[in-house]
Structure 1
């Protein structure tokens, strides 16, 4: 959870929003996500997940959770395990058929 990895999260967030992120080899980075991409593709083929662009899937699956994990955006609110479960369920509901 974020509380265990806060410095890493903050670094990734800052780097991702900096001009330096444009220097990253996107193809090399995407190779790390192949297992996840494969799972999403199987879900689409099995008609479990909506057949939409991967960027849309990512936006509805990961960005809500990332937003909630960001203490700068959710100032004064601590995400507990029930909230995390609810957030994941809501993100899943957004992409499932």
Structure 2
């Protein structure tokens, strides 16, 4: 049995992000991904059983980057509002430097490939941040509404503002990011 090379795995995942951005999930070709990664399609199948497994692995790769940046920036033990502000800045910077992460994450999340099990996996990885938000709800700092509403009003604006910054219609300065964060905070804060 041949050994798996982590650099090849990463090349497959990065090629998948590009392929899906250009052709969508349905039009994605394993052969083109393999060519883009510089290997044969047969080699790709050593790593992934099929196209679906590759698409899911690419989502896990992207999600781990996004969730990792969010959790690392939050820094447990700090004030919830300041931690979320740091998270906003970290995600905004990640979105500007790697917009393909946000595009793939958004596309996959709104596709048939997103399952409750995958959602549960991501929520487990984001547990330090989600637990702090839950404590904020319990202490009356944050509105006692379901997580999808909090997520929509707190984090979805980042995706939109990153896109607008890349288009040149929003100036992504620290001051503007703080203004956006404050507006998002006002939407979820109880007081």
TM range (shorter): 0.7 to 0.9
Find the counterpart in structure 1 of residue 100 from structure 2. 7
Matches of residues 1-97 of structure 1 in structure 2 within 5 Å? Answer: 1=93, 2-22=95-115, 25-71=118-164, 75-78=167-170, 79-97=172-190
5+ residue gaps, structure 2, are 1-92
5+ residue gaps, structure 1, are none
- Bigger Rg, structure 1 or 2: 2
SS at match of 2:140: coil
Q: Is the 8 A contact 2:102 2:159 kept in 1?
A: no
- Normalization by structure 1: what TM-score? 0.79
The structure that is helix-richer by fraction is: 2
| Cα deviation, residue 23, structure 1 | 8.4
For 1:47 and 1:31, locate their aligned partners in 2 and report how far apart those are by CA, in whole Å: 23
For 1:94 and 1:12, locate their aligned partners in 2 and report how far apart those are by CA, in whole Å: 24
Higher relative CO (CA 8 A, sep ≥ 6), structure 1 or 2?
1
CA distance 1:85–1:10, shift in 2 (3 Å): same
